[in-house]
Amino acid sequence: MFEIQNLKYKDILDINILELESGKVFCLFGESGSGKSTLLKIFNGMLTPDEGVVRYKKEKITQLDPVELRKEVVMLGQDPVVFEGTVRDNLLAGLRFSGENEVTDQEMSSLLKELHLEKELDEDATKLSGGEQQRLAFGRVLLMNANVYLMDEPTSALDEGTETVVMDYFTKNIKKQNKTVIMVTHSKEISEKYSDRIIYMDEILTKVGVHHE
């Protein structure tokens, strides 16, 4: 699915080799500032490495149309993007972008229920709480039916119970459809419970000498 060879990005990332297979849930684990978010942004072409090659489905990312790439490789950030408008507008926003068929109100309502987001489709999305907005963003990307989900601490604003509900539902659907997830989380529990493979940043980063004054 993704293959990295000799990647260098500023003085943040230096990775000799990394291969991620499709149909799995990966967790990126590492200390703050170790480059996890930077690596996610490289996977969907938001950032371009200074050196090396990154391939998605055997194609060099630099040779792919970024708009087409981001229809297949969707980013769900830590601060959920909520657009002006209703809950319905927000759920449909991703669909318009990805070109998928429209979904019915009934389907959207049942998705909200699965995510424990008991809000009406006509409600103003900007008035939702941070945790509710995170769940709304989950709903939006789930409807997009992407191939790869890049997730940067996607449940950071959720309490433990809600986090379990959302992650259970999300991973169940993802697995059923043989999709790939690359997720940054600081939670050992989440990574152990949901991931097929934990990628430790200090194992993939090439060790560089520590400079002392």
Binding site for ligand ATP (CB under 6 A): 10, 12, 30, 32-38
Cβ 199 to ligand ATP shortest distance, Å: 12
> E strands within 10-46?
13-20, 25-29
Q: Give the C-alpha separation, 189 to 186, whole Å.
A: 9
Cβ 13 to ligand ATP shortest distance, Å: 8
User: For ligand ATP, which is the closer residue by CB, 98 or 156?
Assistant: 156
Structure tokens at 23: 């149909």
Cβ 208 to ligand ATP shortest distance, Å: 14
CA distance between the termini of the chain:
42
User: For ligand ATP, which is the closer residue by CB, 108 or 201?
Assistant: 201
The per-residue b/e assignment along 77-110, b for 16 or more CB within 10 angstroms, e otherwise, is: beebebeeebbbbbbbbbbeebeeeeeeeeebbe
User: For ligand ATP, which is the closer residue by CB, 8 or 119?
Assistant: 8
Cβ 195 to ligand ATP shortest distance, Å: 17
User: For ligand ATP, which is the closer residue by CB, 36 or 71?
Assistant: 36
